[in-house]
Amino acid sequence: MPPRRRDRRSHRDPSPSPSRPSGPRASPSSPRLRLAFIVPPLLLLVLTVLHFTGLLSRSPPYPQTPGKTPLSVYDRGLVKRQVSAGEILAEHARVSENRSRRHFPNPVLAYVTPWNSKGYDMAKLFSMKLTHVSPVWYDLKRNKLSLEGQHNYDAGWVSELQNSGSLVVPRVVLEAFPGVVLLKKKSRDKTIELIVSECRDKGYDGVVLESWSRWAAYGVLDDPELRQLALQFVKQLGEALHSISSKSSTRNHLELIYVIPAPRMEGPNNQDFGPEDLLQLADSVGGFSLMTYDFSGPQNPGPSAPLKWIQYSLTTLLPAKGSASQVHSHMIFLGINFYGNDFLLSKGGGGGSITGRDFIHLLEKYKPSLQWDDKSSEHFFIYSDKGVRHAVFYPTLLSLSVRLDEAQDWGAGLSIWEIGQGLDYFFDVL
């Protein structure tokens, strides 16, 4: 397996600092002195064992392997508005024993990150539900044209996923300076060759490319000529990958999936990826990973992905739902977040993202009352800590089910960011 980052919570040495001895000095042969040397290490060993096994924590340790049940979350009546903290705590680690049954028939792209290593195991466990798996491994650096991240590669993990039917398409972030990649043909060709060679050498089924947000930051998309060069680069990479045969892909060639931002509700601008861009790339890429999450932030607390925003994004990029000319909807991998946010509602705002592990901890500690927001079609709850009010938005079975229904109505697939951050029973809805 690739090297995995430890959990964010640090484990500090609980032993106290040594204090100056008082009273009569003990001799080296004194039983009291021998005990003084023996007891602290033994006590430290016992405390360490208890700590890592979870026996010293207020709540039981977070399950590493999901429990099995003959019934899915739908059969157990868990996909609903009125959901309690107690019910989530009791059920979140139990999944249907039938892991090959798919409730969502369209393609599913699952991202896996090294810093949430649980995703590696979940990808293998639920591979029958995932058509594409994208490990977040590679960066093409700006200082010199080099592809970094080869140390993450795990041949055994990749092979196991491919043998189960999943396509492995690692993500590549294009961080190289646009002036180098787009304006110089030699550098452009070298960049594409680096990516294609890595796929060929490692036996990947293609790649997921992320570059649009970087190009927006550099101002590339505001210049019509540079924007056209950027689109031509994506097309050239897609065509290069298509020229390589693949035994795993149903299309018999390597695939390119391109990451695109969701359109802005306040109206499009030059930095948005629009329907004209989609049409220009449609023949050269296998799909578009649409980032319909992160709608809210610490300065504007709220839902992660309001349903109306998702619908607006799809209608902006595609013809009307059910239209005969809606030929590209199957290329969209609709973004679904498996993470949430814990926002501060006072003291100048703030807060940040949380994983399933964090969410479960908050439910155990505060026993909050979850509320359903009709406007966003998301659950949330409010709690107070040291006089500061917080709002927590985290996916639930119903919020996920509603978004899967929307994707299915459009004929679109899913892209999940990212499966190491979710609760185990989320996989039952896929």
Answer whether residue 55 shows pLDDT above 80.
no
Mean pLDDT of the region 148-154: 95
What is the rounded CA–CA span in Å between residue 87 and residue 278? 43
Cβ atoms of 314 and 410 closer than 8 Å:
yes
pLDDT at 57: 35
Task: Write down the pTM of the prediction.
Answer: 0.84
Mean pLDDT of the region 126-143: 93
Residues 6+ apart with CB under 8 A from 369: 84, 85, 381
Left, alpha or beta for 258 (phi > 0: left; psi -120 to 50: alpha)? beta
pLDDT tens digits for range 219-230? 999 999 999 999
Q: Which domains does the chain have, with CATH numbers?
A: 100-339+396-429 (3.20.20.80)
pLDDT tens digits for range 356-394? 999 999 999 999 999 999 999 999 999 999 989 999 999
pLDDT at 348: 73
pLDDT at 58: 36
If pLDDT is split at 50, 70 and 90, which confidence band does 312 have? Answer: very high
Cβ atoms of 170 and 138 closer than 8 Å:
yes
Name which of 88-92, 131-135, 139-143, 328-332 the model is least confident about: 139-143
Answer whether residue 125 shows pLDDT above 60.
yes
pLDDT at 8: 32
How does DSSP classify residue 26?
P
Mean pLDDT of the region 100-114: 96
What is the rounded CA–CA span in Å between residue 302 and residue 298? 9
- Of 427 and 299, which is predicted with more confidence? 427
